[in-house]
Structure 1
Amino acid sequence: MTTPFSCTYTPQISELLWQLNCTLAISTYQAGKVILVSAAGPESLVQLPRNFEKAMGMAVEGSRLAIATKEEVIVLANAPALAGSYPPQPHTYDALFVPRATYYCGEIDLHDLAWGSKGLWAVNTRFSCLTLINEHFSFEPVWQPAFISDLTPDDRCHLNGLAMLYNEPDIVTALGRSDEPKGWRENVLEGGIVMHVPTGEILATQLPMPHSPRWYDGKLYMLFSATGELACLDTSSGKYDSIARLPGFARGMARYQDYLFIGLSKIRENASTFRNLPVASQELFSGVAIVQLSTGKTIGFIRYENSVEELYDIQVIPGFRRPGLLNHIRPEHRLALVTPTDAFWKGDE
């Protein structure tokens, strides 16, 4: 019998993460987890799953990690001084992310998150808008597509992806140009659009379920989930080049140095909206694909054998080979006391 969250992986993946001195954070809303994947050495990987209900978008900036969950956004911060003395597992971690704030936003189906100059941005899919997450409201709506006529909780265009540029929202993706409740479902294969936030202009149309737009080296990359593609979009023409085809519903992407880490999901068997997508005709798995950005070559995979069927987001935690992660559920986080100059475990003498 396999253990929960068992995975297989291409041999060079552990060596790559070891050399890069980084860890992957994976969110899976289906399993209700954020999973840290680290190299235990050049030849093996180790995982740390933690419970976060319906974990979706994540954002990493410096020592902060934000996680969108079913009804809350949770912000954690690294307390490195506590890592080595973590009571259940001392001398294990080289970083320790502990909860610092919880924003009670309600069930608004947040997707991508990003830190910016004005704070924490979120794609509010249920209300078809970009929002700021703060202590004043459930959410602060800032931008909507021009074709959305009302701020109502009915997921009109399935706004999902956000690309930042110079610390400001720049590009968003949606699955349809619809102003009707769940109208995007009528054409999931070719209804996808890309929009420029500052001008409101629609830059590209007829895309196969675009997700995870990202600016890398002056080029706009994104994932087409319906076809399992990594693509590079020319924003002036609306045309795109397919960089790689991947064996999964592609969604969630992060870059570190010359490598892209891309999330792959299976297709839900009971989801009539998705089961006829082109990617569904392939043998799919859930996990992570690693693509070299400079060449477009896929160099390896992490493949889940059980427990994980659908991923949403991937982030890279740089500079740490084995970070720890405490959620707001485990009692240990209440023992962590951190000041600007010191850190203690409650009860330390």
Structure 2
Amino acid sequence: MACATVRNVPVMLTRFCSGSTLISFTSRPGPHRPVSGGQPPPRAIYSRKMDSVSSAAGLEGVLRVADEVAEALSSGHPVVALETTLVSHGFSQGRGLLAAQQAEQRVRAAGAVPCAVGIADGLVRAGLDAAELQRFAEAGTTARKAGARDIAACVAQGVLGATTVGGTLAVCRVLGIRFMGTGGIGGVHRGFAESLDISSDLVELARTPAMVVCSGAKAILDISATAELLETLSVPVLGWRTDTLPVFYRGEGGPPVAARVDGVADAARIAALHWQLGRSSGLLLGRPPQPELDIEPVLAEAVGRVAQAGVTGQAVTPAVLALVEELTGGRSVAVNQQLIADNAALAAEVAVAYGAVAR
């Protein structure tokens, strides 16, 4: 697969075409340019020259960006980031691959470029092809679940790392990707007072200027505590045609959102102004799932069984979701796949609208 590597990111995107020849792409106005008065977007001088890896800023040999993604970023075309944990850990029997493929198709149909992120063969890879996604699906839970803290270790040790929301956002921050679509974010776990089990997704969202479109926090979490922490971290929580934060499988039942948005232009305008006003955090756009599924009756049983089995840390969420799938007779899988695709499509639509607003 043709690819690009990154040099002085986000100052410039560079591409190894052959040997040590590099081409720098000049940034143009587009979705990644803030509204007038904001910080200018990354710029690069168009040039073609011989160079060496040793003279680069240190990311050659670490970060590989697919040509399609690099060219989209350099030309200002909207890009939507997608995680790979859902491919390897989010579903059983390889269903995660189908979910990822459907998400990418919906992103393209909405006019944006999908950018699935993962770590393989000692490289952070932004923009995975079909064979690479297949590799994550086949690896399943043997792939390391890679949050932001795990990226360096995965690269150094050459292991397969499936990025979480937080890990994907860390790569978005490096590349300047402003939008991400996913199923649900991590958050504050139930019983956190005893375990302090809080997902680093929230920390990365607070430090990354990107909008994450999702169906709220995963239903197995303490939704109210998660919303409180997002407020503490100054992350705007928006509701897509809803006044309350969706609860992953259900559209209602969560705490009130900071603002309701009823159109993509409205969401894009809020994001643009948020960053123009000097905020460096991300935003959360919660989209209610359709159809919905009330899993509360089986959730307590699933959480209890996982806790009794002694499962802790990053393994809790996939273990609980696997039990929920079993206890709902697979209905949770269908809802999950649909909401992932729908959220990816909405992220792309907002990204396209942002391009018009931010010019």
Q: TM-score range by the shorter chain?
A: under 0.3
Q: Normalising by the residue count of structure 1, what TM-score does the alignment of the two structures yield? A: 0.27
Q: Normalising by the residue count of structure 2, what TM-score does the alignment of the two structures yield? A: 0.27
Whose strand proportion is higher, 1 or 2?
1
Whose helix proportion is higher, 1 or 2?
2
